[in-house]
């Protein structure tokens, strides 16, 4: 991982991703480190048993501050700042 970062966020859960997105939007070079094979933390749906999907404590996302939950981009889409969540 060559390069210099302004911030290193440990953990790619919903809090870490929101933090990294706001830092990136402010022009900072950010590195997010996550030990799991996917990011999202509690806001992830995982297949616990074959054919059975479980949303991991995603209700926590509803507890985010309203200005984060309702953040809209110029194109009208709701996604986190800094382009996080684009498909």
Task: Give the number of C-alpha atoms closer than 13 A to the C-alpha of residue 18, restricted to the C-beta side.
Answer: 15
The average pLDDT across 16-22 equals 92
- What is the tens place of the pLDDT at every residue in 27-49? 999 999 999 888 888 778 888 78
Which one, of 14, 55, 52, lies nearest residue 32 by Cα?
14
Q: Indicate the pTM of the whole model.
A: 0.60
53-83 pLDDT, tens per residue?
Answer: 877 666 666 676 777 666 655 555 655 544 4
Q: Please answer whether residues 31 and 8 qualify as being in contact, where contact means their C-beta atoms are separated by less than 8 angstroms.
A: yes
């Amino acid at each position: 991982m060559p390069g210099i970062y302004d911030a290193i966020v440990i953990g790619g859960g919903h809090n870490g991703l929101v933090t990294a997105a706001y830092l990136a939007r402010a022009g900072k070079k950010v590195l997010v480190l996550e030990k799991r094979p996917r990011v999202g933390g509690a806001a992830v749906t995982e297949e616990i048993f074959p054919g059975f999907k479980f949303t991991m404590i995603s209700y926590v996302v509803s507890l985010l501050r309203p200005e984060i939950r309702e953040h809209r981009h110029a194109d009208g889409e709701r996604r986190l700042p800094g382009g996080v969540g684009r498909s």
